[in-house]
Structure 1
Amino acid sequence: MKRISVVSPCFNEEDNVAACYEAVKAVFERDLPGYEREHIFVDNASTDRTVEILREIAASDRHVKVVVNSRNFGVFKSTFNGLRHATGDATLCMLPVDLQDPPEHLPEFVRLWESGYEVVAGARSTREESLPLRIARGIFYRIVNGLSDFEISPDVGEFQLIDRKVLDAVLSHDDHYPYIRGIIASVGFRRVIIPYTWKARKRGVSKHNLLMLTDQALNAIFAFTRAPMRFCTLAGIAIALFCIVFALASVLLYLSGFGNAPRGTTTMIVAIFFLSGIQLLFIGMLGEYITAIHNQVRGGPPVIERERINIDEAEAETRPAAPVTKLPRRPA
């Protein structure tokens, strides 16, 4: 019997984890009776009852595995580490417990995977979100796709079913801050895209605020494109050409008697502040690259696990995983 793994990251989702578990379980029982279910919950050190609920679920269902992190490492690092524990023939990379990505599409994903597609990607063709956020996403993906060596669909996230060999290729990346959808796109393989409606959250509060989304966008841009450095190069050339043209025009006007070379403090102040701003912008871009390089070469595990539940130690040793620290349970 083939096994399908599902990875669900969570943080302070006591209102949603049980509903997510029941929804996935119902899909397998109703539409995928011939497949073994493996549901991996990765908790980012929740401070509510999320871990307690997950323990109760895992105690009654051996198909549920739980990884509890020692602190909140962020959704991408946490999910990437959760993928290391997936043992299925195919893996749904991310199913957030808020069910904005509907698990009802999983049977269709499995059918297409069985037909020969190695990556079945869900595309959020319809989003129940604000217009400014949709516009910002469109601009971001135009930048990434315009200056990268591969294409990331503007509507495709981590809601993707990937084959075992694709997962192995993804996990071979030693990335301190993994941008999972970008890594999947970069490894290639035969892919099909299935559109779906990204639903609005029904319970709880989203943990993805503007700062987190901005951080994820910058990580993708600096990790998978040449956009920042290309912008620096083009801007430098444009400023240099403008200065040359301006200098030649000033000399010609002075020699022809139609004007004098510009003088006064206004021109100097504008020029100084403009060039200073450009320099600070470029320094900031270089700083982003240096920070990313520093985090990568500094080493150390991207995620530290506090606890594993229903994860066989021998099975966990078959692929690299984050170190686990055994700590005493907190009293209920």
Structure 2
Amino acid sequence: MAKLISIVTPCYNEEGNVDELYRRVADVMAQQPYDYEHIYIDNCSTDGTIEKLRALAAKDKRVKLIINARNFGHIRSPYYGLLQSRGDAAILIASDLQDPPEMIAEFIKKWEVGFKTVLAVKPESQESPLMFFIRKTYYRFISRISEVQLIKNATGAGLFDRIVIEILRKIEDPYPYFRGLLCEIGFPIATVPFKQPRRQRGVTKNNFYTLYDIAMLGITNHSKVPMRIMAMCGFLLSILSLTTAFGFLIAKLVFWDQFQMGTAPMLIGLFFFGGVQISFIGLLGEYIGSIHTQVRNMPLVVELERINFDQT
């Protein structure tokens, strides 16, 4: 009996791309000696995406559809979709076609030689040069402070052996930083480099908030360095403040009539230390928010409907 490959595609308002994605995935898998299922998980789209996915599922029983009760975000929904796969390997591929489906063949080749995890990486991209620079800078920063070695410029697309999926099921993380979890698991990771094309249809769902969300999740879930920097900086600043205050006191006592304290140094010091405190409190809040998310133990996704999962 042939092994089964599960293709998992998260969707949100991608009516212009899902048909082409389906065709291109089918073309790639037709050249492979494996059976496959294509799981679409829709994040409560408001355009015609769901109707198109229903039509695909009606004509091809390999297409399986999960419709979320609401939009559960760009982190939880793809992860949940992977956990619903039943293949010997699961492949995550985006619906916007910026991760070309043709990479699936390369993922499978790496898997066949023994890799449990294969990730797509984009050393170059046709996206905005500014955004690409910001992403590269972030990955360089997070790699330096993380307690595990992360894969730079990984897009999230890739192949994950059933063993990896089973480990992820046991972790039960309600808000996971997926790329970090893969590195924490510890299996050697193969990479497939590619040049990311521009989006041809539809509008990107990434904005400043979603990118900030991913960035902070990577920091708070996989590094204690910022917390320790805050503690050390706080200690050093307190010493500096006490030393400066003591110096001003001595100067005033020695030169009582000539030395004027003035308001300028006090205002500068007040605003400086106030800004430092606010920054540190904000970062501390990110860690507390991460803890809050974990202890609530909310489900990754609540399903409204699933289609074709009773098919063998």
TM-score by length of 1: 0.87
Cα distance in 2 between the residues matched to 1:262 and 1:200: 62
CA shift for structure 1 position 72:
0.5
Q: Can you give the 5+ residue segments of structure 1 that lack an aligned partner in the other structure?
A: 316-332
2:201 is matched with which residue? 203
Cα distance in 2 between the residues matched to 1:132 and 1:174: 35
Query: 8 Å contact 2:76–2:175 — kept in the other structure?
Result: yes
CA shift for structure 1 position 252:
7.5
Q: Select which of 143, 151, 156 maps to 1:153.
A: 151
CA shift for structure 1 position 255:
8.6
Does the residue aligned with 1:8 lie in a helix, a strand or coil? strand
- Could you list the per-position Cα deviations for residues 12-60 of structure 1 after superposition, in whole angstroms to 9, with x for gaps in the alignment? 111111111111001111x21x101111101000111111110110111
- Could you list the per-position Cα deviations for residues 139-180 of structure 1 after superposition, in whole angstroms to 9, with x for gaps in the alignment? 222332222221112211211111110111122222221111
Q: Can you give the 5+ residue segments of structure 2 that lack an aligned partner in the other structure?
A: none
Cα distance in 1 between the residues matched to 2:6 and 2:213: 28
Cα distance in 2 between the residues matched to 1:100 and 1:260: 70
Deviates more, 1:243-252 or 1:183-192: 243-252
Cα distance in 1 between the residues matched to 2:133 and 2:247: 40
Cα distance in 1 between the residues matched to 2:296 and 2:154: 31
User: Residues 1-332 of structure 1: matches in 2 within 5 Å?
Assistant: 1-29=2-30, 31-32=31-32, 34-92=33-91, 94-247=92-245, 250=248, 263-312=261-310
Aligned residue pairs: how many? Answer: 311
Does the residue aligned with 2:171 lie in a helix, a strand or coil? coil
Deviates more, 1:268-277 or 1:242-251: 242-251
Cα distance in 1 between the residues matched to 2:85 and 2:72: 19
Cα distance in 1 between the residues matched to 2:10 and 2:103: 18
Does the residue aligned with 2:44 lie in a helix, a strand or coil? coil
Cα distance in 2 between the residues matched to 1:104 and 1:58: 22
Identity %: 38
Q: 1:287 to 1:249 in 2, by over 3 A?
A: same
Does the residue aligned with 1:120 lie in a helix, a strand or coil? strand
Query: 8 Å contact 1:143–1:227 — kept in the other structure?
Result: no
Query: 8 Å contact 1:250–1:260 — kept in the other structure?
Result: no
Query: 8 Å contact 1:23–1:103 — kept in the other structure?
Result: yes
AA aligned opposite 1:102 = P
Deviates more, 1:127-136 or 1:79-88: 127-136
CA shift for structure 1 position 244:
4.9
Q: 1:157 to 1:227 in 2, by over 3 A?
A: farther
- Could you list the per-position Cα deviations for residues 177-217 of structure 1 after superposition, in whole angstroms to 9, with x for gaps in the alignment? 11111111111112211211111101111111122111111
- After TM superposition, the runs of 4+ consecutive aligned structure 1 residues lying more than 4 A away are 247-257, 259-262
CA shift for structure 1 position 245:
5.0
- Could you list the per-position Cα deviations for residues 111-163 of structure 1 after superposition, in whole angstroms to 9, with x for gaps in the alignment? 12111111111111211112221221122223322222211122112111111
Q: 1:127 to 1:260 in 2, by over 3 A?
A: farther
Does the residue aligned with 2:41 lie in a helix, a strand or coil? strand
Does the residue aligned with 1:172 lie in a helix, a strand or coil? helix
Cα distance in 2 between the residues matched to 1:260 and 1:83: 73
Q: 1:269 to 1:88 in 2, by over 3 A?
A: same
Does the residue aligned with 1:40 lie in a helix, a strand or coil? strand
RMSD (Å), alpha carbons:
2.2
Query: 8 Å contact 1:254–1:261 — kept in the other structure?
Result: yes
CA shift for structure 1 position 236:
1.3
CA shift for structure 1 position 248:
6.3
